[in-house]
Structure 1
Amino acid sequence: MTGTRHSYIKSRSGCQNCKRRKLKCGEETPSCRNCERRGKVCSLLGSSASLAANPSSALPHAQLPSGSETALPIPRPPGTGDVGFGPAGFTILDMELLHHYSISTALTLSSDPTLGNYFLQSVPQLGFSHIYVLHSVLALASSHVAHLRPESRQYYYDQSRARHTAATSMATPLLSDISTANAIPLFCFSFTTVFIAFGSLRDEDHLPFQESSLIPSWLVLFRGLRTVLEANNGALFSSSVSFLFHTTEVKRSWEFKQADMRALLEFQGFIKTSTSEEDEQTRQLLLDAFQELRRALYFFYDGNYGNEAKNRSLFTWMYKISDEFLSLVQQGNRKALCILGFACVLVHQLEYNWWCQGWGIRWIERVYASLDSVHRFWIAWPIREIGWVPKRETADSKNI
């Protein structure tokens, strides 16, 4: 008996990109898989029709830990869906994420009252006139919820990625023409992007390092933030947000203080005396990069500095590090890789921040695996500080 062939009924509600490319659209929300794979902004993002057609995407909200990482907004029963909201296509989930950002996420970004207030009030307000800022805020909040709710982690990471894809598609064209009118919103987009990259370590679809590189995604993205800061001869430093950068403990002490632990001094001496591999210019690049790192480490090991100074010391180091040094890393310069090993300590010491958790160990693993036995000796101090134990098969492997 010949089986009856069931004809495929073409969906009329697929996204515009899939229709244009004549692809079968899975209509996943908030962005279909085809668009996610290609990094395109899906027309289903925020579509009330598509969200209502996929009620299983709405997850019930469990009670979250009390304290600074407060519970998510009002619970809703399973199966209610993310109902469309407003002419811009924002959903109930978007409203919940914005609420979560206001009562929780913004409070985790800085302990400085002035900076914290800027994150809490000014950034979302700016998002109402610059939608890419609002999308990035929602993406950051969703990444935070993914951290707080491991049972729904990938769902919220998917939501974060879709919103950040939308924000990036709007902001990227503006980065080639930074003006006084868009510098501040682009700055807000850029720093939320850095936080999103930090917070996406456990996202199964996020690449924490670019291919085989030892440079984390957030360090690469911070170069974009630096571009915004330095645009128009550094106009942002004298703009209405100049208070974010001036009169801080870190800024006052940076040029005059350096950590002086024995391990640091010995490695610095190794750079100075081991000249067979590098020319004078390369050696100076290495010394300058390591000196900046010693300045950052000072705020962790010397004096009586709070968490905010430690956070700022990491970002100051990220700002100060040169493109030429990162080129040495990409070229596989072993001393440059050792300096990254010391930098892993900075990130690990900041694990009291949800967005930094896990990075120190993940980073030192990659650095260690890229070094030969001679240079692994020089990162013994970072390994001890982090408390990481190399796997036996890695420790016994042949020199790289």
Structure 2
Amino acid sequence: MGFEHPYILHLVFAFTALHLATSRPDQRDEYMAISERHYEAALPVVTSELAKLNPKHCHAICMAVQLVCLIHCARGPQPGEFLAFGEGGRSEWLIMFRGIRTTREFMNTKYLRVKVPERPVPLYDFPPKYETALADLRDWVDHVSVMGDDERDANLHAVDELAKCYHARYGGTESELLLVFAWLYKMSDEYLRRLQDLEPVPLVIFAWFTVLLGDMERLWYV
């Protein structure tokens, strides 16, 4: 796939260089520069191809946008960006991440379904009263929201999906990436818009998501 779509190779090289920058700190600047060079060579092509999806390259684009998301994570926190939103509201990482969803929706589910082995996460004891705390969070969101309002439905959906991620995480049934990023993948455009507008309720829910994200800090690219 990389030989047919060179931007895939550029992104693989960019990600590899970031790993080398982490494992060889004395050469960090050199590898970061190499990573940036390959990334800049790939990104304009990926962005252009994403806007004109077709069956001939949709698998390559799906892989590319996933690599872009991993590269953004591996670069580490950037000033003014908080993964799902930024100081200016817009998150470049989230835009590309949602590109995964766009690509997958373009392809029918049967066509996309490829069995990839996942490495289960270690089993952890449930945090004390975590289920009760999540139930309290849902009650609070329900209380502060207006009945019948689209915002209320989007907020409750966000909490319900978050609870599923917590259950999967502490039950050790899912891989790290699938577990953590599944929540953002499933969020409605309405919820994400209000999160990027820095509205209080979506921010509170997002704070609970960052607890799960913290479990991934032991991975070099987070």
TM over 0.5: yes
Provide the C-alpha distance between the structure 2 equivalents of 1:207 and 1:163, rounded to a whole number of angstroms: 24
In the other structure, the counterpart of 2:197 is 331
Deviations 1:91-135 (A, max 9, x none): xxxxxxxxxxxxxxxxxxxxxxxxxxxxxxxxxxx1111101111
Provide the C-alpha distance between the structure 2 equivalents of 1:132 and 1:224, rounded to a whole number of angstroms: 16
Provide the C-alpha distance between the structure 1 equivalents of 2:175 and 2:187, rounded to a whole number of angstroms: 18
In the other structure, the counterpart of 1:18 is none
Which of 251, 271, 285 is equivalent to 2:141? 271
Which of 204, 209, 214 is equivalent to 1:343? 209
* 1:295 maps onto 2:164 in alignment: yes
For 1:128-207, list aligned pairs within 5 A.
128-201=3-76
Provide the C-alpha distance between the structure 2 equivalents of 1:153 and 1:324, rounded to a whole number of angstroms: 40
Provide the C-alpha distance between the structure 2 equivalents of 1:273 and 1:211, rounded to a whole number of angstroms: 28
SS at 1:243's partner residue?
coil
* 1:285 maps onto 2:157 in alignment: no
Provide the C-alpha distance between the structure 2 equivalents of 1:304 and 1:201, rounded to a whole number of angstroms: 26
Provide the C-alpha distance between the structure 2 equivalents of 1:217 and 1:177, rounded to a whole number of angstroms: 19
Query: What letter is aligned with 1:294?
Result: A
Question: What are the ranges of 5 or more consecutive residues in structure 1 without an aligned counterpart?
Answer: 1-125, 251-258, 357-400
CA contact (8 A) 1:200 1:208 kept: no
Deviations 1:44-97 (A, max 9, x none): xxxxxxxxxxxxxxxxxxxxxxxxxxxxxxxxxxxxxxxxxxxxxxxxxxxxxx
Provide the C-alpha distance between the structure 2 equivalents of 1:131 and 1:304, rounded to a whole number of angstroms: 37
Please give the root-mean-square deviation of Cα atoms over the aligned residues, in Å.
Answer: 2.7
In the other structure, the counterpart of 2:124 is none
Report how many residues are paired: 212
CA contact (8 A) 1:143 1:157 kept: yes
Deviations 1:128-166 (A, max 9, x none): 111011111101111111122222223222211111111
Instruction: Tell me the CA shift for residue 220 of structure 1.
Output: 3.1
Deviations 1:217-266 (A, max 9, x none): 433321111111111xx33x323x52247x9899xxxxxxxx96221111
In the other structure, the counterpart of 1:238 is 110
For 1:1-400, list aligned pairs within 5 A.
126-201=1-76, 208-209=81-82, 211-213=86-88, 217-231=92-106, 234-235=107-108, 237-239=109-111, 242-244=113-115, 261-275=131-145, 280-301=149-170, 303-305=171-173, 308-356=174-222
| Structure whose alpha-carbon radius of gyration is higher | 1
Instruction: Tell me the CA shift for residue 284 of structure 1.
Output: 1.0
TM-score by length of 1: 0.48
Deviations 1:191-221 (A, max 9, x none): 1101001100167xx8744651577643332
Provide the C-alpha distance between the structure 1 equivalents of 2:19 and 2:166, rounded to a whole number of angstroms: 27
User: Percent identity at matched positions?
Assistant: 25
CA contact (8 A) 1:299 1:310 kept: no
CA contact (8 A) 2:161 2:183 kept: yes
Instruction: Tell me the CA shift for residue 285 of structure 1.
Output: 0.8
Provide the C-alpha distance between the structure 1 equivalents of 2:77 and 2:199, rounded to a whole number of angstroms: 29
Instruction: Tell me the CA shift for residue 316 of structure 1.
Output: 1.7
With CA pairs under 8 Å and 6+ residues apart, which has the higher RCO, 1 or 2? 2
Provide the C-alpha distance between the structure 1 equivalents of 2:80 and 2:215, rounded to a whole number of angstroms: 22
Query: What letter is aligned with 2:162?
Result: L
CA contact (8 A) 1:197 1:217 kept: no
